[in-house]
Structure 1
Amino acid sequence: MDIYILGAIICIGLIIRTIYFQVGEIYSREDKKKIKRMQYQIDELCRFVGYDELMSTYISDEDQKFIKHLKNIGKEVEAIKKIRDITGLDLKEAKKYFDSI
């Protein structure tokens, strides 16, 4: 059963990303909200079946250590930029994640 759920998660994620790249740019605020909601649902499904590494906001242990290192040496901007590069989070969400570590 898990393999079917995993396959569905991957397919849905690929469809969303394909649509996004084909469109090139999301034109309306409503489209952005729909995609964000769909990505959230995929992430929750990944979390539910135990595949956290497939979540769009997943940060590997190695990257987490590097981000914590940047935080400890006072390079907040670089750390938040790294979080955004890895996860695709917007600035507000990346800052929130940074503050939580």
Structure 2
Amino acid sequence: MLKVTRNLVVDRVRSAATRYETVTKVTHDVTQPDSTETVLASLEFTRLLGSLSSEHREVLAPTYLYGRTDQETAEILGVPAGTVRSRKHYALVKLRAQ
């Protein structure tokens, strides 16, 4: 989940840069957050996950927390792999929008 949160932050910074918005300078390495940032990111991500449907949450956990492929996740959930990809896509779209 932390990786997804980090990717969302990186995406936001990159999109701001392409729109020529002012982006504050990062004074530390964002790939290695300190414990405070980790806790805050976890709390924020937990809040964001609560806004997703259960179908979307159950796809994100095996994929991002356990590193499973879409096919492995599909077998675990008993749904087609295309459904896993679709749910994952729409879950990430909703997370990015928030």
Coarse TM-score class (shorter-chain normalised): 0.3 to 0.5
Larger helix proportion of the pair: 1
TM-score normalised to structure 2 length:
0.33
